[in-house]
């Protein structure tokens, strides 16, 4: 059985800046893009942002700001 290691969330989030991510909102809509920044309130900034409805790209937005209390 493998051992589970704990990861500091702040370090993990700073390590993935610049990578492609998908953010799911409370209303079920998802946004994909490159993570540019995230703060202590979990506000997220993506560039090359795309709205995903189901598995289809709905709209291309470019820069996307997601307020932290909207994410799941």
Pairing of strands 20-24, 30-38: antiparallel
Neighbours of 31 (CB within 10 A): 22
| Mean pLDDT, all residues of the chain | 89
Q: How confident is the model at residue 60 (pLDDT cuts 50, 70, 90)?
A: very high
The full set of domain ranges for the chain reads: 11-66
CATH top-level class of 11-66: mainly beta
What is the tens place of the pLDDT at every residue in 15-36?
999 999 999 998 888 999 999 9
Q: What CA–CA distance (Å, rounded) separates 25 from 5?
A: 28
Contact 7, 16 (CB under 8 A): no
């Amino acid at each position: 059985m493998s051992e589970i290691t704990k990861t500091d969330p702040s370090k993990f989030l700073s390590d993935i800046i610049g990578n492609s991510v998908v953010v799911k909102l409370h209303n079920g809509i998802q946004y994909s893009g490159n993570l540019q920044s995230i703060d202590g309130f979990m506000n997220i900034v993506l560039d090359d942002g795309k709205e995903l409805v189901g598995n289809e790209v709905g709209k291309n937005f470019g820069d996307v700001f997601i307020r932290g209390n909207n994410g799941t």
